[in-house]
Amino acid sequence: MKVGIILGSNELSRVAYAAMHSAIAVSLDNEVVLFATMDGVKAFLKTPDLRVTDDTSKVIKESREDVFQHFRRAKKSGKLKILACSYASKVHKLDKESYSELVDDIVGITSFSMEVEGGQLVSVW
């Protein structure tokens, strides 16, 4: 099955949830496509811009957990694709070189929708 995850936030707790959901879905032999949009693209910069405003994010930050380890592990399986939204990239003046190696491509919502058509969608805002 295909799983599409839309990540629209750079809040640490939400990025951590998207990372764990990606890793679990891949471990269950699903193909996962994560679409980072709006502030979510900031999480995938070479130097991630992560907000810490909620209690869960504060706890994660204090624990020094590397939430990106879940994305890296899932990417090694070959079943996770991470896409940055072209509109959000334009708004934030970002290009492919702005993003970490985790980002596979910059695409529009139509491309993402076609990629996960018929699959399960999870939205993380």
Report whether 22 contacts 70 (CB < 8 A): yes
Q: What is the pLDDT of residues 34-74, one digit of tens each?
A: 999 999 999 999 999 999 999 999 999 999 999 999 999 99
Q: What is the pLDDT of residues 9-20, one digit of tens each?
A: 999 999 999 999
> Buried b vs exposed e over 32-52: b needs ≥16 C-beta within 10 Å?
bbbbbbbbbbbbbbeeeebbe
**Residue range of the domain that includes 46:** 2-124
- Segment holding 75, helix H or strand E: helix 68-76
The total domain count for the chain is 1
- Cβ atoms < 10 Å from Cβ of 54: 13
The model's pTM is 0.96
CATH number at residue 15: 3.40.1260.10
Give the pLDDT score at 107: 98
Separation of alpha carbons 97 and 76, rounded Å: 21
